Amino acid sequence: MSLRTVTRLSAEWHDAVASNGGPDYEFPAPRFPSATVSGMEIVPIDNCSDLCREGAHMRHCVASYAQEVRDGRYYVYSIRRDGKRIATAGLTLRDAQVELQQIRGPCNAAVPAEVVAAVKRWLRTQVPPPGTAMTA
């Protein structure tokens, strides 16, 4: 088999595991809706299977935040360009404020400054639910 075939088969296997594995948590509605900023799609992760799939595709541990997401203390967004995942952003809720806690690329790599700037710009434009505040 070629490297390309092995890579494709591995991705398909991880996708199947993410779809059928992990706890079947119900997540609260995303804090903010999806959006496109500077050509980057910001997509909320709203179920456990998608959270596991994000971690598998990006090769990082975002799936380990499932309990925090379930409890409404953490929100995860997939950052994509032309449909391809380029980063994962984690928002945390502390003292009624939403903050960008982390943003990571594949294998926890640093994310280009333009991606971080776009996510922060998006976060500043979001209107928090009544009685809450946010920072970016």
Q: Please give the pLDDT value at position 126.
A: 87
- Give per-residue pLDDT as tens, 79-122: 999 999 999 999 998 887 889 999 999 999 999 999 999 999 99
Q: Please give the pLDDT value at position 114.
A: 97
Q: Is the dihedral of CA 53, 59, 62, 63 positive or negative?
A: positive
Q: Please give the pLDDT value at position 3.
A: 83
CATH 3.40.630 for domain 3-134, yes or no, is yes
DSSP string of 10-44? HHHHHHHHHHH-S--PPPPPPSS--EEETTEEEEE
Q: Please give the pLDDT value at position 127.
A: 66
pTM of the shown model: 0.80
- Give per-residue pLDDT as tens, 8-44: 777 776 666 666 655 667 899 999 999 999 999 999 9
Q: Please give the pLDDT value at position 7.
A: 76
Domain boundaries, the chain: 3-134
pLDDT over 60 at 129, yes or no = no
Tell me what the mean pLDDT of segment 58-84 comes to. Answer: 94
Measure CA 105 to chain center.
Answer: 10
Helix residue ranges, H only, the chain? 3-20, 48-58, 66-70, 113-125
Q: What is the rounded distance in angstroms from the CA atom of residue 29 to the CA atom of residue 26?
A: 9
